[in-house]
């Protein structure tokens, strides 16, 4: 019998990470039987379906359809539904990625049912417990049998937390696997033509974290920052549905729509967004994944946060933490426009082969272990 490996994805960043893993594991169909569970944490076409299309991810085998709820309700709904799936399917290994609620919920279920658990993107730490993602990361890592690390800080963090070294594997970054794969396809994207943009004459904005968009105070500060930066360079802002809701709730959407040098657009598919980012002058973001992608692409990135769980993007890459300090942001934008911003380097093992390394480790550890399906067969 084949070894049954179940992948879990729930939100937009997960899809980018899961795509290269599915492609790589599909090469071992003689030994592995894979399945994909979509929790439905991100559920509409703009946040989910378009990514499945662009990344050529096969349709999920199981869709939990949990939808949007508070952290507690969403996590609980995923756990209740996913427990039924694992109990019925009896996988040998469940692979979770990233740090969203789906990651934590499924990790808890798998561990309590005695199934092996792998966490891709383990060891990242912001050391900020006010971030829900930090709680998800810490708990998932504490439960995992296989911890696949994307950058060297992850090794140090897990060592400091007392995680056994035989559970930890430094494999590189699956986000970059997808980015390199996308590089072969982005030439088809017409996003710049569609938005009437010229290469290297615009900046990209992505902001959605609660610390930036949930309160009227912080969101008003964000609006002021975007006004400041748009006076120096044209900006394009694919607006996250959640951010749009908050802008309307706090009566601030009009503050952005009046800015003539800021274009608010709907969320983009993966290939279009990679193209938009690759050809931009700079990126303003609070996204962890985009910090990594801009570093790999060599695009200056200003992260509107006080901390990052991806320090390699700052110490080695093109990322700078600017918080909501308007003076610092203005200085950084000026440096970028003058060509004096740091150029950065690509961290170790961000080479497009992380998924290959992960599949190899899983094969080595599971294929011939005592009691495995293959051994029993």
pLDDT in tens, 10-34: 888 899 999 999 999 999 999 999 9
More confident site: 242 or 283: 283
pLDDT of residue 181: 96
Q: Is the pLDDT of residue 197 over 90?
A: yes
If pLDDT is split at 50, 70 and 90, which confidence band does 42 have? low
pLDDT of residue 48: 60
Enclosing domain of residue 22 = 3-172+353-376
Query: Is 343 part of a structural domain of the chain?
Result: no
124, 193: one domain: no
pLDDT of residue 53: 84
Give the total number of structural domains in the chain. 2
Q: Write out pLDDT tens, residues 283-338.
A: 999 999 999 999 999 999 999 999 999 999 999 999 999 999 999 999 999 999 99
Across the chain, what does the average pLDDT equal? 93
- The fraction of the chain above a pLDDT of 90, given in percent, is 86
If pLDDT is split at 50, 70 and 90, which confidence band does 377 have? very low
Q: Write out pLDDT tens, residues 83-141.
A: 999 999 999 999 999 999 999 999 999 999 999 999 999 999 999 999 999 999 999 99
pLDDT of residue 50: 81
Q: Is the pLDDT of residue 374 over 90?
A: no
Query: Is 180 part of a structural domain of the chain?
Result: no
pLDDT of residue 373: 39
Query: Is 344 part of a structural domain of the chain?
Result: no
Among candidate residues 28, 42, 119, 208, the one labeled active-site is 208
Q: Is the pLDDT of residue 64 over 90?
A: yes
168, 195: one domain: no
pLDDT of residue 371: 46
Query: Is 17 part of a structural domain of the chain?
Result: yes
**Which CATH number is 312's domain given?**
3.40.50.2000
Query: Is 162 part of a structural domain of the chain?
Result: yes
162, 205: one domain: no
Query: Is 345 part of a structural domain of the chain?
Result: no
Q: Is 208 a catalytic residue?
A: yes
361, 244: one domain: no
Query: Is 179 part of a structural domain of the chain?
Result: no
Q: Is the pLDDT of residue 44 over 80?
A: no
Query: Is 182 part of a structural domain of the chain?
Result: no
**Count of CB atoms situated within 10 Å of the CB of 258:** 9
Q: Is the pLDDT of residue 215 over 80?
A: yes
Least confident of 62-71, 178-187, 290-299, 320-329: 62-71
Reported as half-sphere exposure (CB side, CA atoms, 13 A), residue 259 has a value of 23
């Amino acid at each position: 019998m084949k070894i049954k490996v179940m992948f879990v994805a729930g939100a937009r960043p997960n899809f980018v990470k899961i795509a290269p893993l599915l492609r790589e594991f599909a090469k071992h169909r003689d030994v592995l039987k894979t399945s994909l569970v979509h929790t439905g944490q991100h559920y509409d076409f703009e946040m989910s379906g378009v990514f499945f299309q662009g990344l050529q991810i096969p349709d999920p085998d199981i869709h939990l359809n949990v939808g949007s709820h508070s952290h507690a309700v969403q996590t609980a709904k995923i756990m209740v539904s996913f427990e039924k799936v694992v109990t019925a399917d009896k996988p040998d290994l469940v692979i979770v990625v990233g740090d969203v609620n789906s990651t934590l919920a499924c990790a808890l279920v798998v561990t309590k049912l005695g199934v092996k658990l792998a966490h891709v993107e383990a060891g990242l730490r912001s050391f900020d417990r006010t971030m829900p993602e930090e709680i998800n990361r810490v708990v998932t890592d504490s439960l995992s049998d296989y911890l696949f690390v994307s950058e060297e800080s992850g090794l140090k963090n897990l060592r400091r937390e007392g995680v056994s070294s035989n559970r930890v594997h430094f494999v590189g970054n699956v986000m970059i696997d997808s980015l390199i794969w996308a590089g072969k396809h982005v030439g088809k994207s017409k996003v710049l033509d569609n938005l009437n943009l010229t290469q290297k004459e615009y900046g990209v904005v992505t902001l959605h974290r609660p610390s930036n968009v949930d309160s009227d105070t912080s969101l008003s500060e964000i609006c002021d920052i975007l006004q400041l930066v748009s006076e120096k360079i044209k900006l394009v802002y694919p607006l996250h549905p959640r951010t749009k809701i908050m802008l309307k709730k706090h009566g601030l959407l009009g503050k952005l729509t009046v800015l003539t040098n800021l274009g608010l657009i709907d969320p983009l598919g993966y290939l279009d967004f990679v193209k938009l980012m690759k050809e931009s002058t700079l990126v303003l973001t609070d996204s962890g994944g985009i910090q990594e992608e801009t570093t790999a692409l060599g695009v200056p990135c200003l992260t509107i946060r006080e901390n990052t769980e991806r320090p390699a993007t700052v110490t080695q890459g093109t990322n700078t933490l600017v918080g909501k300090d308007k003076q610092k942001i203005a200085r950084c934008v000026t440096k970028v426009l003058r060509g004096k911003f740091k150029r950065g380097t690509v961290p170790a093992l961000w080479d497009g082969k992380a998924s290959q390394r992960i599949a190899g480790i899983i094969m080595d550890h599971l294929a011939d272990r005592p009691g495995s399906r293959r051994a029993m067969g």
